[in-house]
């Protein structure tokens, strides 16, 4: 079984977070260390450590990540000019919390995807 993370506690509202959206499948909240004017994390309520652990049964929930991202981008006012969605996997991919999550970043030009 996967080890619980800080995200599990946010989903259960055991620790404070600026939750913008929550339903039976996903939760979305503002990143506490934003890298852009709008930086929101969208996470499945089910603990899946990495993208490598995704199963076919998770497709509906993962699709919800994208529909919630679209909705939040509209609410944040970044949908027209554009935004970036990022998912990291494992250390070389930059993953820090082992509960898959999508970053929604926007509110300014974000520049190239990778530098250097």
Residue with tokens 């995200």: 7
pTM confidence score: 0.94
Task: Report the number of secondary-structure helices (H) and strands (E) in the chain.
Answer: 3, 5
Which one of 39, 92, 99, 101 is the catalytic residue?
101
pLDDT band at 101 (very low <50, low <70, confident <90, very high): very high
101 flagged as catalytic:
yes
- Please report the domains of the chain, with CATH numbers, ordered by start residue: 6-106 (3.30.428.10)
User: 18-51: per-residue pLDDT in tens?
Assistant: 999 999 999 999 999 999 999 999 999 999 999 9
Confirm if 98 and 34 have CB atoms less than 8 A apart. no
- Residue 63 confidence (pLDDT) above 90: yes
> How far from the centroid of its chain's Cα atoms is residue 82's Cα?
17
Give the C-alpha separation, 20 to 115, whole Å: 31
- Residue 115 confidence (pLDDT) above 70: no
């Amino acid at each position: 079984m996967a080890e619980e993370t800080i995200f599990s506690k946010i989903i259960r509202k055991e620790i404070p977070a600026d939750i913008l959206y929550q339903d039976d499948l996903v939760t979305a909240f503002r990143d506490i260390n934003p890298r852009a004017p709008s930086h929101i994390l969208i996470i499945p309520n089910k603990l899946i450590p990495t993208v490598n652990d995704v199963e076919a049964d998770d497709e509906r929930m993962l699709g919800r990540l994208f529909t919630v991202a679209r909705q939040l981008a509209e609410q944040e006012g970044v949908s027209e000019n554009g935004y970036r969605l990022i998912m990291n996997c494992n250390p070389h991919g930059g993953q820090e919390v082992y509960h898959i999550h999508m970053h929604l970043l926007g509110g300014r030009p974000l520049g190239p995807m990778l530098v250097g």
